[in-house]
């Protein structure tokens, strides 16, 4: 099951979204995950020549990937000067939280109204993989990627995978703060259990319960960012 899901997951990450070249998408996905995981923290300078050598590509796919990251607000390109990983903007997070909950609620409604058996099966496989990697702290990034993949499959399950790409382009700052959270065993279990409940309501076609579970899963209190802004002041604008 692990090898099968690895192949499927890699296909999702490196497919050509909206017709983009595979090399560009691969670089975009990897750099995006490195920024979201804070491997490349806010304020980090990015040098195109170094990145081109690292990814073993020409400047063309690298330029396309970096332009997409700039559009997402995760980096800022200063022409003829420098490129920096952006600092986290709390105002963008507030907008992203509203957008994510509204859009994912609508996706849950559509999914529950006409459950896709194949999508439900894939969601259950992702949950099984999350349970498998959760105890290994070295695989935290993998767990986080699987979390994103879970939500991607929900969008795909209603026939609108590109909407997920549009959503994640607006949630980069929110996702970075999520990476600042303490990922205790209890926290990881809460995430997976939430996925379990969401799938159960979708499979049962219970629209009302699906709405409740997805809103509970995506809810953040209004002061959610404050704790992390105080602790990691240099990461924020």
pLDDT digits (tens, 9 = 90+) for 25-64: 899 989 998 999 899 999 999 999 999 999 999 999 999 9
Does the domain spanning 2-85 belong to CATH 2.70.70.10?
Answer: no
Phi (first) and psi of residue 209, to 5 degrees: -70, -35
Q: What percent of the chain has pLDDT over 70?
A: 91
Give tens-digit pLDDT for 76-121.
999 888 999 999 999 999 999 999 999 999 999 999 999 999 999 9
Nearest to 97 by CA among 173, 191, 202, 194: 173
Q: How many CA atoms lie within 13 A of 67 on its CB side?
A: 8
* CATH architecture of the domain covering 90-235: Up-down Bundle (1.20)
Q: What average pLDDT score do residues 201-210 get?
A: 98
State the Cα–Cα distance between residues 47 and 7, nearest whole angstrom: 31
**Averaged over 125-133, what is the pLDDT?**
95
Q: What is the pTM of this model?
A: 0.83
Q: Please report which confidence band the pLDDT of residue 11 belongs to, taking 50, 70 and 90 as the band edges.
A: very low
pLDDT of residue 163: 93
Mean pLDDT of the chain: 90
Task: Write the pLDDT tens digit of every residue in 158-189.
Answer: 999 999 988 988 999 999 998 888 778 888 99
Q: Hey, where are the domains in the chain?
A: 2-85, 90-235
Output the six-digit token pair for 5.
Answer: 């899901």
pLDDT score at 19: 46
Compute the distance between CA of residue 33 and CA of residue 174 in angstroms, rounded to an integer.
13
Contacts by residues 62-65 (CB-CB < 8 Å, ≥ 24 positions apart): 62/24, 62/27, 64/20, 64/21, 64/24, 64/28, 65/24, 65/25, 65/27, 65/28, 65/31
Q: How many CB atoms lie within 10 A of CB 22?
A: 11
Q: pLDDT-derived band of residue 21, with 50, 70 and 90 as boundaries?
A: low
Q: Identify the bridge partners of residue 77 per DSSP, sorted by sequence position.
A: 83
């Amino acid at each position: 099951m692990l090898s099968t899901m690895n192949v499927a997951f890699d296909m999702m990450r490196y497919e050509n979204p909206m017709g983009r070249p595979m090399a560009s998408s691969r670089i975009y996905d990897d750099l995006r995950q490195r920024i979201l995981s804070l491997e490349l923290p806010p304020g980090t300078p990015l040098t195109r020549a170094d990145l081109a050598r690292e990814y073993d590509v020409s400047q063309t796919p690298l330029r396309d990937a970096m332009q997409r990251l700039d559009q997402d607000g995760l980096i800022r390109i200063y022409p003829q000067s420098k490129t920096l990983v952006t600092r986290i903007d709390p105002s963008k997070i507030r907008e992203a939280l509203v957008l994510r909950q509204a859009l994912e609620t609508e996706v849950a409604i559509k999914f529950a109204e006409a459950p896709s058996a194949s999508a439900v099966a894939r969601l259950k496989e992702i949950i099984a993989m999350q349970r498998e990697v959760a105890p290994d702290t070295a695989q935290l990034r993998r767990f986080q990627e699987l979390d994103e993949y879970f939500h991607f499959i929900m969008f795909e399950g209603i026939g609108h995978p590109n909407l997920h790409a549009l959503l994640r382009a607006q949630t980069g700052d929110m996702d970075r703060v999520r990476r600042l959270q303490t990922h205790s065993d209890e926290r990881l279990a809460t995430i997976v259990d939430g996925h379990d409940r969401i799938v159960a309501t979708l499979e049962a076609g219970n629209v009302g319960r699906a709405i409740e579970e997805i809103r509970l899963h995506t809810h953040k209190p209004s002061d959610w960012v404050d704790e992390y802004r105080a602790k990691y002041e240099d990461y924020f604008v």
